[in-house]
Amino acid sequence: MQKKTTNSICVEGLSCETTEAELRRLFEHHGEVASVTLITDNETGQSKGFAFVEMTAQAAAEEAIRQLNGAEVGGRNIVVSKARPKSY
């Protein structure tokens, strides 16, 4: 069985006002975005300050990580890295 290559990116340090639409626009400058998932608190619905962005191409994901890590978004410097697989 072939291992699936992931183009998933973890974005940390987000302002609680940052939206999925804003993240999509930011990452679309580097390639096609398959999905954006902003992680929120189950009870309050407020952002937990991080998200996952899935790019359709690995090269686009790598470029986005290089260009956006440390960038200022919503008055905060974000940390952008390759997402690690879930450990169960």
Q: Where are the domains of the chain?
A: 8-75
Q: For residue 17, with 0-12 CB atoms within 10 Å meaning exposed, 13-18 middle and 19 or more buried, which class applies?
A: exposed
- Supply the pTM of this predicted model: 0.88
Q: Find how far residue 73's CA is from the centre of its chain.
A: 12
Summarize pLDDT for 24-67 with one digit per residue, the tens: 999 999 999 999 999 999 999 899 999 999 999 999 999 999 99
Instruction: Give every CB contact of residue 79 below 8 A, 6+ residues apart in sequence.
Output: 11, 12, 13, 69, 70
| 68 DSSP 8-state letter | H
The predicted structure's pLDDT at residue 85: 78
Tell me phi and psi for residue 60, to 5 degrees. Answer: -65, -40
CATH architecture of 8-75: 2-Layer Sandwich (3.30)
